[in-house]
Copies of this chain bind each other. A is one copy, B any other.
């Protein structure tokens, strides 16, 4: 299982969470990574944790002010990127452009979407993975794998129907190891986490609990 911890713009110490991610990753079969803000990618990557961007723009080198260039986050140490997170929704043409920009910079890509139909659409753009996150469950503490297992199974089917090479992740409300196991039983290959780890008093303990049953 792939466990990606999204730090959003939480008031956490990104280095502390990154070190927890690095340490727990070494002690488990799961693959654990962290996605800090762009300004923190370099310092987070220096910890040795697998580091992801939260977003890249559909642009190339050139006259783009205030944008996130895939090559720049890659140079800073990112190895992958989220695209079209529900807190950073993009136009269809720009998701396509961002996937292409990320692939150009050798970043692994996870395109997020809200429901199975949009997951099928995201899979058609050829990313490495898609992630279904029902917006109404994000930040609730109610895991998608329990609150709406059908949406996860339907998302897996929708993605496979379009492109069987595209992995499926899920997110929203996941905070315990049982949630991750339940998600895996529904057919996904990974999960997106956020507040459960990023806001924990002890991120290492939170992550250890999470990967323990895997």
Contact = CB atoms under 8 A, between A and B. Distances in A.
Chain copies in the assembled complex: 4
Given A89-B93, A90-B92, A63 B194 contact: yes
Interface in A66-112: 66-69, 72-73, 75-76, 82, 84-96
B93 A62 contact: no
B117 A121 contact: no
Contacts of A120: 121, 124-125, 162
Contacts of A124: 117-118, 120-121, 123-124, 158, 162
A94 to B, nearest CB: 8
Contacts of A40: 42, 72, 76
B39 A64 contact: no
Contacts of A8: 62-65
A64 B87 contact: yes
A65 B88 contact: yes
20 contacts: A9-B69, A9-B72, A10-B61, A10-B62, A38-B68, A39-B41, A39-B68, A40-B42, A54-B67, A63-B195, A66-B82, A66-B88, A89-B94, A91-B91, A91-B92, A96-B115, A96-B118, A96-B121, A117-B124, A124-B158
Closest A-B pairs by Cβ, 4 of them: A55-B66, A120-B124, A66-B88, A121-B121
